Amino acid sequence: MRISNNRLARNIARTALILTSATAVALSLTACGGTGSDSKDGKTVTVYSVDGLGDWYKPVFEKFKAQTGITVNEVEAGSGEVVSRVEKEQSNPQADLVVTLPPFMQKADKSGLLQVSGVDTGAVAAADKDSDGKWVSLAGNYLCFIANPSVDAAKLTWDDLLRPDYKGKLQYSTPGQAGDGTAVLVLLQQLMGKQGALDYLAKLQANNVGPSSSTGKLQAKVDKGEILIANGDVQMNLQSVKSGSKFNVFFPASADGKKSTVSLPYLMGMAKGAPHSDAAKKLMEFLLSADVQKSLPDTFAIPSRTDLASAPASGNGPSPASTIKDVTVLHPDWTSVLDNLDADVAAYTKATGS
């Protein structure tokens, strides 16, 4: 059978067009990989982390790359937002490691967003890690408050925060969205009971500027005097002061003068479907190594390793230990907190009208 030259030319052109289109589609699909997951060679690992550890991460991640050739891509967000992002991306996982505060790590575990890492966590106390190997404490930390230097914060009580002169000058991160904000609710529940905490926060709402999903963003507002008081955590706030921020760390006292806080560690786990699980495991092992953990006190965090728990910082200035001197540290059952979180947040929202 003969084919004319014109018909043959048309067939060749049509075949070329189909091949070109198929190639374009393939390239398009490859380019849609998103942050962190488009490299499958194990030379990249993506960390979704709560804000606060950025100044510690930078030199540590550079050292990790120098030793392994693996680049670390860090994405920062609020505690709850970190977990929400991992959940939304389950059909196309982007994160390899997750670092967040309780009870959001426990929430990630309960939601099936974590996998067993296989990392040796023998140097970390049993109370500071998941018995099934889904998460482990990376660094110890504590809830606190910060005040602009214009405020004499040393003797402030919880009742003082209700004073009319703080109207529109006080803000705390939102329970259920931010780890530090959730810790505020948990601490008040511990001190006043659940109904007492709701009654107090309902009164405090008259002074509260409004919701905030990230505690870290409140630091700049206190530093500039836009607000006078906010919640925070010891590690993040002292590191910010070291970097030049102007505010003071304090712990509101109860009517009897006693000051209390809650333990609020940075927890680390491997994300389910981590696209670079081998590289992620290497990074976890690196971050838990004695050599790397020794540098945590320099950024006002506490090593999670039991053999380094009392390691001093190499520089001068306040330490977490000196900051919480004479402050009672409470250790909530975060699994129980999580079990009641939805109901507690709903009750909080109703009580405050937020």
pLDDT, tens digit (0-9, with 9 covering 90-100), for 68-108: 999 999 999 989 999 999 999 999 999 999 999 999 999 99
By mean pLDDT, which of 177-181, 227-231, 264-268 is the weakest?
Answer: 177-181
By mean pLDDT, which of 18-22, 76-80, 149-153, 188-192 is the weakest?
Answer: 18-22
**pLDDT score at 320:** 87
Which pair of structure tokens corresponds to residue 257? 């003068």
Rounded to whole angstroms, the Cα distance separating 217 from 41 reads: 35
**pLDDT of residue 10 exceeding 60:** no
By mean pLDDT, which of 45-49, 154-158, 184-188, 212-216 is the weakest?
Answer: 212-216
Contacts of 26 (CB under 8 A, 6+ apart): none
**pLDDT score at 38:** 45
Strand 170-171 with 44-50, pairing: unpaired
Confidence at 37, pLDDT banded by 50, 70, 90: very low
Among 264, 282, 130, residue whose Cα is nearest residue 185: 264
Strand ranges, E, within the chain: 44-50, 71-77, 97-100, 114-115, 135-140, 143-147, 170-171, 229-233, 248-250, 259-262, 266-271, 302-303, 327-330
Confidence at 42, pLDDT banded by 50, 70, 90: low
Characterize 181-200 residue by residue with b for buried, 16 or more Cβ atoms within 10 angstroms of its Cβ, and e for exposed: bbbbbbbbbbbbebeebbeb
Phi then psi for 144, rounded to 5 degrees? -155, -175
Percent of the chain residues past pLDDT 90, beyond the cut: 82
Contacts of 333 (CB under 8 A, 6+ apart): none
SS3 at position 231: strand
Among 349, 324, 352, residue whose Cα is nearest residue 145: 324
Strand 71-77 with 248-250, pairing: unpaired
Q: Using CA atoms in the order 280, 136, 240, 48, what is the torsion angle rounded to 10 degrees?
A: 40
210: left (phi over 0), alpha (psi -120 to 50) or beta: left
Contact 259, 327 (CB under 8 A): yes
**pLDDT of residue 220 exceeding 70:** yes
What's the mean pLDDT in 3-13?
A: 42
Q: What is the mean pLDDT of the chain?
A: 89
**pLDDT score at 47:** 98
State how far Cα 29 lies from the chain centre.
Answer: 31
**pLDDT score at 354:** 83
Confidence at 2, pLDDT banded by 50, 70, 90: very low
Contact 134, 176 (CB under 8 A): no
Which pair of structure tokens corresponds to residue 276? 């670079």
Contact 188, 194 (CB under 8 A): no
Confidence at 13, pLDDT banded by 50, 70, 90: very low
> pTM (2 decimals)?
0.84
Which pair of structure tokens corresponds to residue 203? 């009164």
DSSP string, 140-188: E-BEEEEE-TTS--TT-BTTGGGSGGGTTSEE-PPTTT-HHHHHHHHHH
SS3 at position 238: helix
Rounded to whole angstroms, the Cα distance separating 333 from 328 reads: 16
pLDDT in tens, 271-313: 999 999 999 999 999 999 999 999 999 999 999 999 997 666 6
**pLDDT of residue 232 exceeding 70:** yes
**pLDDT score at 307:** 94
